């Protein structure tokens, strides 16, 4: 990404504090949805970020460390697999995003939300489909959420070694589905998933 998305650029030139918001794990068969709200306060933010799914794990981890060294301000929100089963994955995703926004120390002027679903927040918001590919704030949120969720899932993989979670991160690969048929669901599987 060579330049800021024009919406992000315009807002920053007006000295608006932006929180990019994204989530990871919505399509997984296991575990939580992890959301991140990432603040950009000025146009000087120059770390190159992108959609976390388009980056290799080493590249994603490198950018994550750069973001941490940059003293970035961000916050996380999580919805558990039980919550996903109780209120559905879309509502749980919105709740995780709202938690991430609420936990920020600095109140943003505008939310840039990845996708086309508004969050139940009084803060002004703009929904941007594929925003993690064109907005630095959303791309940074995407990377942080992905690294954090992957870390959680790698710990879960130690507890439930039969499903290959450390490789598939709980997504419905053929190997994962074959293991589900062989062993049945683990306690961390979402009961509402369609196999």
- Residues 138/145, Cβ–Cβ less than 8 Å: no
DSSP codes of every residue in 25-37: -TT-SBS-EEEEE
For the chain, what are the domain ranges? Answer: 6-183
Q: How far apart are CA 51 and CA 23, in angstroms?
A: 11
With pLDDT > 90 as the criterion, what percentage of the chain qualifies?
75
Backbone angles phi, psi at 163, to 5 degrees: -105, -5
- Torsion angle, CA of 120/64/165/36, rounded to 10 degrees? -10
Say which CATH topology domain 6-183 has.
Answer: Nucleotidyltransferase; domain 5 (3.30.420)
Determine how many CB atoms are found less than 10 A away from the CB of residue 20: 30
What per-residue confidence (pLDDT) applies to 43? 65
Average pLDDT, the chain: 91
Q: How far apart are CA 21 and CA 152, in angstroms?
A: 20
pLDDT digits 0-9 by tens, 6-49 = 888 899 889 999 999 999 999 999 999 999 999 988 766 777 78
Least confident of 130-134, 141-145, 153-157, 168-172: 130-134
Q: In terms of pLDDT, which residue wins out, 33 or 51? A: 33
Which strands form 110-114's sheet, in the order they lie side by side?
74-79, 33-40, 18-24, 110-114, 124-128
What per-residue confidence (pLDDT) applies to 1? 38
């Amino acid at each position: 990404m060579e330049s800021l998305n024009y919406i992000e650029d315009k807002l920053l030139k007006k000295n608006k504090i932006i929180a990019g918001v994204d989530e990871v794990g919505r399509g997984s068969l296991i575990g939580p949805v992890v959301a991140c709200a990432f603040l950009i306060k000025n146009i000087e933010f120059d770390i190159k970020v992108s959609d976390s799914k388009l980056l290799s794990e080493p590249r994603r981890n490198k950018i994550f460390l750069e973001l941490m060294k940059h003293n970035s301000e961000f916050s996380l929100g999580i919805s558990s697999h039980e919550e996903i089963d109780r209120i559905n994955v879309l509502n749980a995703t919105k709740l995780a995003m709202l938690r991430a926004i609420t936990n920020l120390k600095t109140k943003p002027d505008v939310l840039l939300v990845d996708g086309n679903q508004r969050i139940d927040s009084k803060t002004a918001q703009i929904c941007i489909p594929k925003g993690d590919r064109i907005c630095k704030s959303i791309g940074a949120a995407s990377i942080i959420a992905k690294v954090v969720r992957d870390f959680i899932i790698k710990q879960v993989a130690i507890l439930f070694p039969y499903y290959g979670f450390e490789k598939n991160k709980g997504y419905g690969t053929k190997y994962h589905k074959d293991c589900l048929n062989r062993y049945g669901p683990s306690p961390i599987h979402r009961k509402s998933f369609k196999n």
